[in-house]
Amino acid sequence: MPQMTDERVRAGLTHEEDLSLLHEVSMKTAGVSRLEMCIQCGTCGGSCPVAKDMDHTPRMLFAMLRAGMREEVLRSNTQWLCVSCYHCVVRCPQEVHIADVMYTLKGMAIKAKLYANSTAPDFSQTFVDMVESYGRSFEMGLASRHYLKHFPLRLPGMMPMGLGMITKGRMALTPKRIKHMDQLTKILNRAKQLEMTS
């Protein structure tokens, strides 16, 4: 309906409401998300330890999901700030799987390449790369690679910490690889195929 769109554009509307968004997020979430049950009470936003740094409180994000504001939702830093503390999850009176929805939104944002303001996706990717090549995570490599890329200025400040960890023998300098890396690779490759087709 081009006419309609034209009219909307003239009226100053920038995008169409994407009413399939809520369902899509719900389906992509592990377990049963219960996202449609949200009553906008704000328990999540009130419980969140990092709400003050979020673009939108989780509650607001869920309202935006309902309103089909795809781009705004995926661009939000909210999902990236989630520390997975599960305070909101156990307190939610509607048992919405909030933390798992945040994971879903991260994945969707990465795929849509809509995550302008955070270094978090990169951190996740670095972590994933590491696990996929060694089967184990490896703090030293992770932290230094991430810091070098995103916070080069902070690194010197972190030096005493890093050095302390190394001298106390708490940071492995060499990564450890699992025995059957080939098996893990096969599993993950198959899983990735399944992810694409689902």
Partner 1 sequence: MTEKIGVYVCHCGSNIAGVVDVVDVANWAAEKLGHQGVVIARDYKFMCSSLGQELIEKDIKELGLTRVVVAACSPHLHEKTFRTAAKNAGLNPYLVELASIREQVSWVHTDKAVATAKSKAVVSGAVSRVIENRALDEIKVPINPNTLVVGGGIAGIQSALEIANAGFHVYLVEREPSIGGHMAQFDKTFPTLDCSACILTPRMVEAGTHPNITLLTWSEVVNVAGYVGNFNVTIKKKARFINEELCTGCGICQEKCPKKVIDDVYEAGLGYRKAVYTPFAQAVPNFPVMDKENCTYFEKGTCKACEKFCPTNAIDFNQQDELINIDVGNIVLATGYDLFDARRVSNYGYGRLPNVFTSLEFERLSNAAGPTSGNIVLRDGKTTPKSVGIIHCVGSRDRNFNNYCSVICCMQGLKFAHLVHERTGATVYNFYIDMRTAYKAYDEFYQRVLEEGTLFVRGKVAEVTDAARYSNERGKLIIQTEDTLAGKQRRIPVDMVILSSGLQPRKDAKEVGKLFGISCSMDGWFTEKHPKLDPVSTMTEGIYIVGCAQGPKDIPSSVAQGAAASARVLDKILQKEVALEPIKATVDQAKCSGCKICNGLCPFNAIAFIEDDKISYINPALCQGCGTCVAACPAGAISGTGFSNEQIIAQIDGLLLRNLEPAEA
Partner 2 sequence: MNKYLLYPGCSMESSAKAYMESLNAIVEPLDLHFDEIEDWNCCGATEYLGINLIPAYSLIARNLALASKQKNGTRTVVAPCSACYLNLAKADHYMQERPSLGVKVNEALAAGDLQYKAGTLDVRHLIDILVYDVGLEKIRDAVVRPLTGLKVVPYMGCMLPRPDYQHRWSDHEHPTELDDLLRALGADVIDYPLTTSCCGGHMTQIGPETAFELIRRLVSDADGRGAQMMVTVCPMCQMNIDAYQNETNHFFGTEYHMPILFFTQLMGLAFGRDPKELGIGVELVSSRNALANIGVEVPVTQEPAAPRKKDEGLPMPRRWNKREAQKEAVK
Spatial contact of 71 and 10, defined as CB atoms under 8 Å apart: no
Say how far apart CA 93 and CA 34 lie, in whole Å: 11
Which of 7, 94, 117 has the alpha carbon at shortest distance from 44? 94
Q: Which of 2, 6, 32, 112 binds partner 2 (CB under 8 A)?
A: 32
Q: Is 135 among the residues that bind partner 2 (CB under 8 A)?
A: yes
Show the binding pattern over residues 34-73: x = contacts partner 2 (CB under 8 A), - = does not.
---------------xx--x--------------------
Q: How many residues bind partner 1 (CB under 8 A)?
A: 22
Q: What are phi and psi of 30, to 5 degrees?
A: -65, 150
Q: Is 65 among the residues that bind partner 1 (CB under 8 A)?
A: no
Spatial contact of 92 and 43, defined as CB atoms under 8 Å apart: yes
Say how far apart CA 137 and CA 134 lie, in whole Å: 7
41 binds, among partner 1, partner 2, none (CB under 5 to 8 A by kind): partner 1
Say how far apart CA 134 and CA 175 lie, in whole Å: 7
Q: Which of 28, 46, 66, 67 binds partner 2 (CB under 8 A)?
A: 28
User: Rule CB under 8 A: which of 21-40 touch partner 1?
Assistant: 39-40
Q: Is 94 among the residues that bind partner 1 (CB under 8 A)?
A: yes
Q: Is the dihedral of CA 11, 16, 19, 25 positive or negative?
A: negative
User: Rule CB under 8 A: which of 4-23 touch partner 2?
Assistant: none
Q: Which of 25, 29, 38, 43 binds partner 1 (CB under 8 A)?
A: 43
Residues engaged in binding partner 1 (CB under 8 A): 39-48, 51-52, 56-57, 59-60, 87, 90-91, 93-95
